[in-house]
Amino acid sequence: MKIARIEAIPFAIPYTKPLRFASGEVHTADHVLIRVHSDDGRIGVAEAPPRPYTYGETQESIVAVIEKIFAPELIGVSLLEREVVHARMDRTIGNPTAKAAVDMAIWDVLGRTLDVSVTQLLGGFTDRMRVSHMVGFAPDDVMVAEAQRVRDTHGITVFKVKVGRRPVDLDVGACRALRTALGPDVELYVDGNRGWTPSEAARALRAMDDLDLTLAEELCPADDVLGRRWLVSQTTVPTVADESATTPGEVTRELLGGSATMISIKTARTGFSTSQRILHQCEGMGVEVVMGNQIDGQLGTACSVAFGAAHRLTSRRAGELSNFLDMRDDLLTEPLEISGGELAVRPGPGIGVDVDPDKLAHYRLDQ
C-alpha cells in the first residue's frame, strides 16, 4: 500500500467551441494526467487543468513540480498517510491543481486497493448529483440557443451565466434573454470572474433584480476588500467566493470578513482531502456550498461528482459538471453521460473510471 511511482503526462484535446469568461478563455483542454502507482501494481488517476489566469500554473509547471518535487518526496509513503502526503507537498507553496490531482489519484488507487468507491470512502451519501451548466460569453441568441440545446439534450435546468463584461448592460441583456427564453422554471445564477468593480456589480444586480438569480459568484476581485463587503450589504442574492477561497484560510477570511456568504468547492484545486476540510469548515459555520468546475475533462468531472455525491451538503445543490460536453473527445474508456439533468457516480472501485490507452497515446504530448 505504498506509493511506488508518480507520472505526470501532458495531453491536449480541442474544444468544439471555446468557453469565454471575464478572466480568460479556453480553446483546448491542455491538461495533465496524473498516475499514481502503488507498490502492489495498482494505478490511480486524476487530471490537473492548468489555469494560469486563476492560479498561475501552466501545463509545464504542473509536470515540473510533480516530477521534480512531489514525486521524489512521496515515493514510499503509504496510501493511508494522507497527512504525510500533504505535509510534504505543502512545503512547496501554490501549485493547487498539481497537489489536488496527486491527492485524488492517491484516493483512487486506495479505493482500487480496498475495492471500495471513493464516494463510499468519503461519506457515501448518494450516488448522483443534479447538473448545472456554464454558459460562456457569446451574442445573446447564441447563449440562449446553447442553454436550450443543453436543456433539451441532457435535461439540465440549472445554468450559471458568465458575466463581468463592460458595459454591464451586455450581461444584464444576456441574462434577461436567457430568463425570457427559458421561462421561470430554470435556475439562473451568475459568475463574474472578478470582471467588475463593486459599484458595477451592484448596478448590474439591481438591474437584474426581477430575474430571480439564485447566486452571484466572484463579481469583483478579492483585493476589493471593503468594496466586496459593501456589495454583500447591497444585495439579497447570496455571494459565492470561488477563486478567492481556494484554501481553508482563504475561506475563513472571505466568510468572517463578510466578503462572501457561500463557498464554491472545486476538487480540481483542493482534491478530495482539502475539499473535505473546507466542506466541514463550511458545515460548522452554517455556510452553503456549491460544487464548482475548473473546466474539467471527464476524469476531473468524475472526481467532482464522486466528492459531491459523497456528502449531504455538496449534493444538495446542482453541481457544475458539464464543461466536458464541449470537448471533441476525452480519455475515458466509457464516456460520462448526463441524462435527466443528472450525472451518476461510476459504481466501480476508486473514482470508477479507466483511461483508454489508445486515446492517451493519441493525445499525449510527451511522446
Instruction: Please list the active-site residues.
Output: 162, 191, 217, 242, 266, 294
Choose between 47 and 217: whose C-beta lies nearer to Mg ion. Answer: 217
CB of 187 to ligand MUC, least distance (A): 16
Q: Which does 276 bind (CB under 5 to 8 A by kind): Mg ion, ligand MUC, none?
A: none
CB of 192 to Mg ion, least distance (A): 8
Q: Quick one: cell of 275?
A: 475539499
Residues forming the site for ligand MUC (CB under 6 A): 21, 23, 51, 54, 191, 193, 242-243, 292-295
Q: Which does 54 bind (CB under 5 to 8 A by kind): ligand MUC, Mg ion, none?
A: ligand MUC
Q: Which does 295 bind (CB under 5 to 8 A by kind): ligand MUC, Mg ion, none?
A: ligand MUC
Sole residue written with cell 444586480? 205
How many residues bind Mg ion (CB under 5 A)? The answer is 3
Site for Mg ion in 178-237 (CB under 5 A): 191, 217
Please classify residue 277 by burial: count the beta carbons closer than 10 Å to its beta carbon, then call 0-12 exposed, 13-18 middle and 19+ buried.
middle
Q: Which does 189 bind (CB under 5 to 8 A by kind): ligand MUC, Mg ion, none?
A: none
CB of 292 to Mg ion, least distance (A): 6
CB 262 within 8 A of CB 287: yes
Give me the numbers of helices (H) and strands (E) for the chain, helices first please: 16, 15
- Binding test (CB under 5 A) with Mg ion, winner from 7, 103, 200, 242: 242
CB of 103 to ligand MUC, least distance (A): 18
CB of 192 to ligand MUC, least distance (A): 9
Return the residue nearest ligand MUC (CB atom).
54
Residue 257 Cα distances to 46, 108, 218, 226, 313, angstroms: 34, 36, 15, 9, 23
Rounded CA-CA distance 316/125 in Å is 11
296 lines the binding site for Mg ion (CB under 5 A): no
Return the residue nearest Mg ion (CB atom).
242
To the nearest 10°, the Cα dihedral for 217, 222, 227, 228?
Answer: 30
Rounded CA-CA distance 347/362 in Å is 27
Nearest-5° Cα angle at 109, 107 to 112: 110
CB 244 within 8 A of CB 260: yes
Q: Which does 108 bind (CB under 5 to 8 A by kind): Mg ion, ligand MUC, none?
A: none
